[in-house]
Structure 1
Amino acid sequence: MRRRLTLVLLVLLSVQFSYSDGLQDRIKCNGVCVPLNQCKTDVGSFSTVDISDDVEVTCHHYLEVCCSKENVVNGSANKCENSAIKTFRDCGRRNEDGIGFRITHAKHNETEFGEFPWVVAVMQVEESQMELVKPDSKLICGGSLIAPNVVLTAAHCVMNRSAETLIIRAGEWDIATRNEVIPYQEQRVERIVLHPNFNRELLFFNLALLILEDNFVADEHIQLICMPPQNKAFYDENCFTTGWGKVDFSAPSYQTILKKIEVPIVPRQKCETLLRGTHLGASFRLHDSYICAGGLEGIDTCTGDGGSPLMCPIPGFKNKFYQAGIVAWGIGCAQKDIPGVYVRVSLYTDWIKEEIKKIE
């Protein structure tokens, strides 16, 4: 699979690239290949490397750039410059333009790096590796950071798992690499708190809090999402959701780069009517703990996106969001007039705040 993207550095370095699973003859790099944030250029300069689909990239990794030796900067020093924010800012602030670079020619609605800095990956560790300092882990669900040491996710993601097998990865973007301009952070889960009314069979009250062993350290790409006021209703908004799940139901694997989709909130009665037209049947009733969004052909969350946040804009603020929902379930993926179903977070704001107070 090939991807063709354009990265624009804040110092006006533009790099156009593609990468492939196969190996081809490479263009020679006359400097050294370094991560994007370790190559500087003179202010105002503009350098472009245009690699077409039938020509191999200069460097081995798409987040590396061929840099002249005199422009290579110390990696640790540069990361400090890029990571100036060390406190948790006002919640729910989206980095619309990303951090450190921008992408173009996105094929599957990939997010910018750090665009939604509260989105986390819920990973599971194999029991044989639990004692290792850096164990291998696999993605099982998404989640959102709502406090420095608390993650909100769907209860169905973790109901049959033990806390000690879970790791939360914040600041993640491409799960297939560790070469991002600012590294992700990981914390182990200390305790799983399922909602007390969670129904394991019918999946009502489908939310859980993951209490972490330690706090995440705030950074540009690691921030918190805002909780909505208790019982707040969302009408007619266009909202975002994210995830590393499949692009469609038949896709063979998950996405490697975090994707985003924009979906409209679907009125409750309309959603119920549309879902009755599926195999759920004419007697189906949508439980009060859910809201609906989407129903657009080719645009939807899918397998692997469970637990990820549904984020709706806060009125009067640009690029600031409440978490309105949690990806819960759907009938297939991305089918016209079949909305996705999300946990209605505003019903539980008070409960969430009380649980957080218990650990403060």
Structure 2
Amino acid sequence: MSSAIFGKVVQLEAALLLLFVASVPAQDADIVRTCTAYKRSVWEETSEFSFLIEDAPIIYKTLDKCTSYAPLIIGGGPALPKEFPHAVRLGHQDNNGEVDWFCGGTLISDRHVLTAAHCHYSPQGSVNIARLGDLEFDTSSDDADPEDFVVKNFTPHPGYSYPAIYNDISVVRLSRPVTFNEYKHPACLPFDDGRAVSSFIAIGWGQLEIVPRTENKKLQKVKLYNYGTRCRMTAEKNEELPEGYNATTQLCIGSNDHKDTCNGDSGGPVLIYHKKHPCMYHVMGITSIGVACDTPDIPAMYTRVHFYLDWIKQQLARN
């Protein structure tokens, strides 16, 4: 009798283990390899030398400079030089060369920037210019390497329908490739969906305060927290969210303090540190829609990047 019960318990434990393993999303091998390749291309230097003996073999040695530029973020504040080399600012340049910057983005390859689809519906005009490698706008005294790129085209997700904010994701293609260095190189795509992540880093050049309206020219960072599915309660249905919060395609992120993303941060990333490479980040979300900017315990909604990996990979494969 007891052995029969023991056998059933073992079977139940095995079944639960299989269920748990099946529920954990497998890492995409291509994304893992690409992430490692980006890290190596920027942070590893290989030198060769040999002993001064005839026919001595050549010895190769690799120096890995991948270290973190900053400690874990506790509150918020200005970003450090080279801390977020994947940060992109997007805008519209008119025929006179004047640029209106209104959205953020994330470099994910040498030609592609990830942003929010709603950024293409800006009253300032369509997204046609991207700036990489910058830290503080309108100054040359910061430790930065700003470079502007013409936008060749962009592809909003086919499921996006303005003004509704679902599937709020777009891939922007630059007219020429980016040369990677310590100031400009991609963030990694997600290895998982972020449900188990407790906190994120949000960055952007958006407003520092909603009232009074505070213009910001320096890249800012802030630590925000995963509120799980709380947005189902805090987000009212409206024309932007006709079906309310969608936990499958959106992340619910905020703070119990006056820390938040705000106007001008749209399209920018929410990030986590890479577990093995401290110089690298994963882009887990895209700043999409706020419920009440800078209001404690009222989280905002961000596009869950992991849900769209197959579609993103299709865009990266396009010529």
- The normalised TM-score by structure 1 is 0.64
What does residue 199 of structure 2 align with? 238
Number of aligned positions between the proteins: 254
What does residue 311 of structure 1 align with? 271
Change in Cα spacing, 1:317 to 1:147, as seen in structure 2 (3 Å) is closer
Task: Select which of 108, 124, 127 maps to 2:92.
Answer: 124
Match for 1:255: what amino acid? N
The whole-number CA distance in structure 2 between the counterparts of 1:169 and 1:190 is 14
Superimposed CA distance per residue, residues 155-212 of structure 1 (whole angstroms, 9 cap, x where no aligned partner)? 0011458998621100111012133334311110000111111121212100111111
Change in Cα spacing, 1:165 to 1:293, as seen in structure 2 (3 Å) is closer
Change in Cα spacing, 1:251 to 1:304, as seen in structure 2 (3 Å) is farther
- State the Cα distance separating 1:235 from its structure 2 match: 2.0
Q: Do the aligned partners of 1:159 and 1:194 also contact (CA within 8 Å) in 2?
A: no
2:235 corresponds to 1:262: no
The equivalences for 1:313-332 within 5 A come to: 313-318=273-278, 320-332=280-292
Q: Do the aligned partners of 2:135 and 2:144 also contact (CA within 8 Å) in 1?
A: no
- State the Cα distance separating 1:249 from its structure 2 match: 1.2
The equivalences for 1:20-59 within 5 A come to: none
2:121 corresponds to 1:172: no
The whole-number CA distance in structure 2 between the counterparts of 1:180 and 1:265 is 33
Change in Cα spacing, 1:267 to 1:349, as seen in structure 2 (3 Å) is same
Change in Cα spacing, 1:235 to 1:156, as seen in structure 2 (3 Å) is same
Match for 1:136: what amino acid? E
2:211 corresponds to 1:250: yes
2:56 corresponds to 1:96: no
What does residue 46 of structure 1 align with? none
Task: Select which of 105, 109, 114 maps to 1:147.
Answer: 109
Gaps of 5+ in 2: 1-38, 45-65
The whole-number CA distance in structure 1 between the counterparts of 2:275 and 2:126 is 39
- State the Cα distance separating 1:253 from its structure 2 match: 3.4
Higher relative contact order (CA 8 A, sep 6+): 2
What does residue 208 of structure 1 align with? 170
Match for 2:181: what amino acid? D
Match for 1:96: what amino acid? Y
Q: Do the aligned partners of 2:87 and 2:106 also contact (CA within 8 Å) in 1?
A: yes
Match for 1:204: what amino acid? Y
- State the Cα distance separating 1:312 from its structure 2 match: 1.8
2:155 corresponds to 1:193: yes
- The normalised TM-score by structure 2 is 0.72
Match for 2:100: what amino acid? K
Q: Do the aligned partners of 1:163 and 1:190 also contact (CA within 8 Å) in 2?
A: no
Q: Percent identity?
A: 22
Task: Select which of 130, 134, 138 maps to 2:100.
Answer: 138
Task: Select which of 291, 296, 299 maps to 2:256.
Answer: 296
Q: Do the aligned partners of 1:164 and 1:189 also contact (CA within 8 Å) in 2?
A: no
The DSSP-based 3-state class of the residue aligned with 1:355 is helix
